[in-house]
């Protein structure tokens, strides 16, 4: 019988973080609730839950999954991830072979946001960076200057040393990046490019390898980030993640600062510096 290792590890990790009501009774060799305690909370037999946690393909009903999700106290993102993992593998979504394309109207929107000195970029499957405006290139990374296979946000965070210098809260951002990538892995377990990315990051980053094993999941919607930029210094700006019409797996991230603040002034300086760089005449190299 086929086994679902991702489902097995996810359920074990969620169960391990729970504590019995009223405190721990007796000696426990492992953290969290025992399987029989979780099964009782969910109203399913111990044998059924054990087989499910072993990753066996039981094809549980939505009602059973919902009961277990409540017993595990999953949030909305964890619940959706759990339901995705529990689906029979053959029915889970496979990524299309064709590459993702950004619509012309979206490129126009990126340019419009540039006029307001608002950094913005488009992230697709596997956290690939599909498009980025000038201000974001100046603030975060000039992804357009990278080889196509390296234009990936997770790869930037973990493998580019500039990312650690840029983000004073690097550990928080990096852990959230892993949790976001986990959501994509649950949707597309048979994506060879995603498997290759995870393998590369696991080999080259001990932090990635440790956080990946935690099976945390996260859907980024909004927040605030601090930056320590080599040109404009420290700034703190808000961001929003916006789903794009026409492709549910494309997300636009937009960064903004309140009008008239030093943070907004810093973004305008970055936008101006990147614009001047983009329009500077290129030196012709002899023999090319």
Sheet containing strand 129-132, edge to edge, reads 129-132, 120-123, 251-256, 233-243, 222-229
Which single residue is written with the structure tokens 């909370």? Answer: 41
Fold of 104-279: Beta-Lactamase (3.30.450)
Residue 34: both structure tokens together: 């025992």
Residue with tokens 């997300």: 251
pLDDT average, residue stretch 83-95: 71
Rounded to whole angstroms, the Cα distance separating 166 from 139 reads 9
Could you report the per-residue pLDDT of 118-174, keeping only the tens digit for each? 999 999 999 999 999 999 999 999 999 999 989 999 999 999 999 999 999 999 999
Residues 68 and 48: beta-carbon distance below 8 Å: no
Least confident of 101-115, 183-197, 250-264: 183-197
Burial class (CB within 10 angstroms; exposed 0-12, middle 13-18, buried 19+) of 164: middle
- Cβ-count burial of 242 within 10 angstroms (0-12 exposed, 13-18 middle, 19+ buried)? middle
Q: Which tops the pLDDT comparison, 2 or 244?
A: 244
- The torsion of the CA quartet 266, 121, 80, 177, rounded to 10 degrees, works out to -60
Question: What is the Cα–Cα distance from 129 to 136, expressed in whole angstroms?
Answer: 11
Q: Where are the domains of the chain?
A: 5-91, 104-279
Phi and psi dihedrals of 41, rounded to 5?
-65, -35
Per-residue pLDDT band at 63 (split at 50, 70, 90): very high
Helix (H, G, I), strand (E, B) or coil at 254: strand
Q: Are 208 and 177 in contact (CB under 8 A)?
A: no
| pLDDT single digits (tens) 195-252 | 999 999 999 999 999 999 999 999 889 999 999 999 999 999 999 999 998 888 999 9
Task: From residue 28, give the alpha-carbon distance in Å to each of 25, 91, 144.
Answer: 8, 38, 53
Phi, psi angles (nearest 5°) of residue 62: -65, -35
Q: Enumerate long-range contacts of 77-82, CB under 8 Å, 24 or more apart.
A: 77/183, 77/217, 77/218, 77/219, 78/14, 78/217, 81/10, 81/182, 81/183, 81/186, 81/217, 82/7, 82/10, 82/11, 82/14
CATH architecture type of domain 5-91: Orthogonal Bundle (1.10)
- Residue 69 vs residues 35, 64, 122, 188, 286: alpha-carbon distances, Å: 14, 9, 32, 21, 65
Q: How confident is the model at residue 4 (pLDDT cuts 50, 70, 90)?
A: confident
């Amino acid at each position: 019988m086929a086994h679902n290792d991702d489902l097995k590890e996810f359920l074990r990790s969620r169960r391990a973080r729970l504590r019995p009501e009223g405190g721990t009774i007796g000696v426990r060799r492992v953290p969290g609730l025992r399987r029989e305690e979780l099964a009782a909370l969910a109203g399913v037999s111990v044998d059924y839950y054990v087989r499910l946690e072993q990753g066996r393909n039981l094809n549980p009903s939505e009602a059973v999954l919902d009961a277990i999700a409540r017993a595990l106290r999953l949030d909305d993102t964890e619940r959706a991830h759990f339901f995705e993992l529990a689906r029979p593998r053959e029915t889970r979504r496979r990524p299309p072979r064709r590459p993702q394309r950004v619509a012309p109207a979206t490129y126009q929107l990126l340019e419009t946001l540039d006029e307001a000195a608002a950094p913005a970029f488009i992230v697709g499957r596997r956290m690939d960076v599909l498009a980025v405006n000038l201000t974001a290139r100046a603030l975060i990374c000039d992804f357009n200057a990278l080889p196509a296979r390296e234009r990936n946000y997770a790869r930037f965070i973990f493998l580019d040393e500039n990312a650690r210098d840029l983000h004073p809260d690097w550990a928080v951002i990096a852990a959230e990046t892993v949790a976001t990538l986990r959501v994509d892995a649950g949707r597309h377990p048979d994506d060879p490019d995603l498997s290759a990315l995870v393998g590369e990051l696991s080999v080259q980053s001990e932090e990635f390898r440790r956080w990946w094993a935690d099976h945390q999941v996260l859907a980024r919607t909004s927040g605030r980030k601090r930056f320590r930029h080599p040109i404009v210094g420290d700034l703190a700006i808000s961001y929003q993640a916006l789903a794009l019409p026409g492709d549910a797996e494309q997300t636009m991230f937009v960064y903004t600062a309140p009008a008239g603040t030093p943070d907004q002034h810093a973004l305008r300086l970055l936008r101006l510096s990147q614009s001047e760089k983009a329009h500077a005449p290129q030196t012709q190299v002899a023999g090319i």
